[in-house]
Amino acid sequence: MNTMVMIEISNGTFDEWKKGFDALEDQRLQFSRDAKVGKVDDHTAIVVVDVFDPTGMMAMFNSDAAKKMAEEMGVVRTPYKLQAMG
């Protein structure tokens, strides 16, 4: 399932968030592949990824490590399911 996640960072920068995102790569590979990250500005990112285990994605979002990073950086994640146009 193609998924886009809007990342809003209120207490940090894109570069700081990206370091944490990269550090969780092994965990993300358990439920997704082909992640692409786009920097919108210093406080916003867009992640587009093929999620093959949505339950696993939500479990990671709710993991202690992800919650800690989100809380410290003021991160709000808004996931969207992408569909083909037409």
> How sure is the predictor about 65, in pLDDT bands with cuts at 50, 70 and 90?
confident
Residue 1 three-state SS: coil
Distance of CA 7 to the CA centre of its chain: 7
Structure tokens at 80: 């969207």
How many CB atoms are closer than 10 A to CB 80? 12
Instruction: Read off the amino acid at residue 25.
Output: E
**DSSP state letter for 52:** S
Q: What is the pLDDT of residues 10-52, one digit of tens each?
A: 999 999 999 989 988 998 999 999 999 999 999 999 999 999 9
